[in-house]
A and B are shown apart, each in its own frame.
Chain A
């Protein structure tokens, strides 16, 4: 209860900051950065596994936020959701671009660029569950089959593609694809029932 009240407060405060940023308010922008950058950097580092690349994405994302804060609509999403979507999207673009630029796909893990995550970092599935802020969303995630949950969590928090998931989970590509697809369909139906996405 107290937690959800706190998170509503925070959302309202961040939404107010976003509105001021849209008007070119520099101190508001600095405060928005201060309040959200660590979360967003955490998201980027986990997907890119490369501190320098994550810094670059964070920089691009906030430059983008400064110019486009006006396109944020408080009625449609939480500010943190909107910001996380921007960062995730940029991370994925960079990750896939990197793959396109590489002639042979390397699945090598020790290319020296690995970012040192805090020790005891929870598993992707744990993060997926913990990340669901509302109980209703948590229930939706929890309701997925183990394979679906695992595939979605790995893709979500570690930026694995279908092919990489198949490799990582030692399953045929088709199986993994259908886990992801079915899992997402169920998630969507459940989230929409819970009224999570506001259009």
Chain B
């Protein structure tokens, strides 16, 4: 056994080098890959050769991959709004510039509306959670309200947020570092209630803002916003 060992190591080195270079036949490649799974010596021999050869790989001139590759990676990993690779096309909800343009006005609006929602009776505070959603013109278009102790979200169109014929407005949560999550389609009447699966504190724990996008009638078929975003608003807690 001991005598055969140096031979075996030499053979292993030859196989590992051909594996890393890629010259092994498909079947031999599969066999060695299987061996590497159960034998640490085999795995280490392959890894050493991969590293040794990869030191040579700088010689290929770089070719910029299409932007869709990054989009696909970000989507698969559920990377959120904080992540941008510049020069890369990102969906609207992931663009930082988009956020900057809305955050401040939305905050001011929410403050203004929020004040009127405080109950004058301080002994039974209602503890409202409010998001005032506005478009680029900063005019409030919808208000979403919740009470901390109730599992209902009420959304009301307050401005000229008319639902275009054949289209629906869909309300989204925009969780931090995660893709948007639908809260549902806003009824054509402009007033709706959404039953929440848990108290608002839980549902909105990681959700700094809400948004409304225009979707095909009945809402986005994919579970992710497809249409343009029309309104956004910061979630404000008044307690």
Contacts and interface: CB of A to CB of B under 8 A. Distances in A.
A78 B55 contact: yes
A118 interface: yes
B109 to A, nearest CB: 29
A27 interface: yes
A128 interface: yes
A97 B26 contact: yes
25 contacts: A26-B82, A27-B84, A30-B74, A33-B70, A37-B69, A38-B63, A38-B65, A39-B60, A41-B65, A45-B63, A80-B54, A84-B54, A84-B57, A93-B29, A99-B26, A100-B27, A122-B59, A128-B59, A130-B59, A156-B21, A160-B22, A160-B23, A161-B23, A161-B24, A184-B17
B57 A131 contact: yes
Interface string B44-65: 0001111111111111111111
Interface SS of chain B: helix, strand, loop or mixed?
helix
Given A42-B61, A181-B17, A88 B83 contact: no
Contact of B83 (A27, A91, A132): A27
A76 B47 CA distance: 11
Interface size range of chain A in the complex? 35 or more
A128 B57 CA distance: 7
A175 interface: no
B61 A88 contact: no
Given A26-B79, A30-B83, A34-B88, 19 more contacts: A29-B83, A43-B57, A78-B55, A80-B54, A84-B57, A85-B20, A88-B54, A89-B50, A91-B22, A96-B22, A96-B24, A96-B25, A118-B61, A132-B59, A160-B22, A181-B17, A188-B13, A188-B49, A197-B52
Interface string A136-170: 01000100000000001001110111110100000
B61 to A, nearest CB: 6
Contacts of A9: none
B53 A41 contact: no
Interface string B6-25: 00000001100110111111
Residue of A55, A80, A89 contacting most chain B CB atoms (<10 Å): A89
A197 B56 contact: no
Contacts of A55: 65-66, 68-69, 72
Nearest to A45: B63
A121 B30 CA distance: 32
A126 to B, nearest CB: 7
B80 interface: yes
Contact of A30 (B21, B64, B84, B177): B84
A76 B14 CA distance: 22
Interface of B: 13-14, 17-18, 20-27, 29-30, 33, 47-66, 68-70, 72-74, 76-77, 79-80, 82-88, 177
A8 interface: no
Given A88-B54, A129-B59, A31 B85 contact: yes
Interface stretch (A12-20, A58-66, A106-114): A58-66
Interface centre among B21, B48, B51, B68 (most CB of A within 10 A): B21
Contact of A59 (B57, B72, B80): B72
Given A27-B82, A29-B83, A161 B59 contact: no
Residue of B63, B74, B87 ringed by the most chain A CB atoms within 10 A: B63
Given A34-B85, A55-B65, A89-B50, A39 B58 contact: yes
A185 B69 CA distance: 37
A8 B49 CA distance: 22
Contacts of B62: 38-39, 41-42
Contacts of A162: 18, 23-25
Contact of A157 (B60, B70, B77): B60
A95 interface: yes
